[in-house]
Amino acid sequence: MDIKDKRIVVTGGASGIGKALAKAFLAEDARYVLIADLNEKNLEESKNELNCDAYKIDVSKEDEIVSLITYMDEKAGGIDIFCSNAGIGGVPGFFEVTTEDWQNIWDINVIGHIHAAKHVMPQMLERGNGYLMNTASAAGLLTQVGSAPYSVTKAAALSLAEWLKITYGEKGIGVSCLCPQAVETPMTAQGAGTAGVDGMISADECAADVIDAIKKERFLVTPHQEVLEYIQRKASDYDRWISGMQRLQKKFEDFYNKFNQN
């Protein structure tokens, strides 16, 4: 899809990958770019810096997603590209994670994508074209050592994007799913853990790959090329893959224990 003159929404757009995406869309001469975020301070600062529209939203709330889409219909006449980018790291571990913690990360990392697609796609299907870009993570393809909630929700986000592409890709709906490893964002400011094994890229680098994917209507966006190799290894010998991940898990535990002792 050509980005020039398109009307675009980016959730989680006030910082990190979302802000970089908004900047990249503006550089591609998008007609109308709106950043949506829960953090009012970051939202106002980014709005002024980028000179675009902004909207406060909690993506876990269906009525707020609906209100955002209605706002764009009134302001811009519709939405051509919806980047469902908002997400959280959530509480790590497994036994430490409460039912409320699980529900919170599920609502943001998965249900937010579902509500966005459910409510923005009707206008796209009516027009015969539109684009969804969902941010997941390499954790959704491979797993996230040390965090069950993050692994599970990012795998679900990837699965949803894949289902949407299979079901509506022949009906004019483009779908891409962003699955990076470590990216320089507020979420990784204190370190990326095992996600940084292949180095950390900038949010701008990540956004550039998304732009390329949308233009080429490429589904899987993996700014870290190593991820593609890991997927192939996983698919070719699942048990061997799990054994390797168990070794990585052991290294993570050893580092965590040593860190806590110091």
Mean pLDDT of 236-254: 88
The one catalytic residue in 32, 55, 131, 150 is 150
- Per-residue model confidence (pLDDT) at position 260: 58
Residues 194 and 248: beta-carbon distance below 8 Å: yes
Residue 150 is among the residues annotated as catalytic for this protein? yes
Q: Domains of the chain (ranges plus CATH)?
A: 7-227 (3.40.50.720)
Mean pLDDT of 121-129: 98
- Per-residue model confidence (pLDDT) at position 252: 76
CA-closest candidate to residue 130, choices 86, 178, 72, 171: 171
- Per-residue model confidence (pLDDT) at position 176: 98
Query: In this model, does residue 19 exceed pLDDT 60?
Result: yes
- Phi, psi of 82, rounded to the nearest 5 degrees: -115, 115
Query: In this model, does residue 219 exceed pLDDT 90?
Result: yes
Query: Could you read off the pLDDT of 184-199 as tens digits, one per residue?
Result: 866 655 554 555 566 7
DSSP, residue by residue, 36-101: EES-HHHHHHHHHHHT-EEEE--TT-HHHHHHHHHHHHHHHSS-SEEEE--------BSTT--HHH
For the chain, strand residue ranges (E) read 7-11, 32-37, 53-56, 81-84, 130-135, 173-178, 220-221
Instruction: Supply the pTM of this predicted model.
Output: 0.91
- Per-residue model confidence (pLDDT) at position 157: 98
Question: In the numeric block, which tokens belong to residue 233?
Answer: 């290894």
Distance in angstroms (rounded) separating the CA atoms of residues 145 and 61: 29
Query: Could you read off the pLDDT of 85-123 as tens digits, one per residue?
Result: 999 999 999 999 999 999 999 999 999 999 999 999 999
Q: Which residue has the higher pLDDT, 6 or 184?
A: 6
Residues 17 and 206: beta-carbon distance below 8 Å: yes
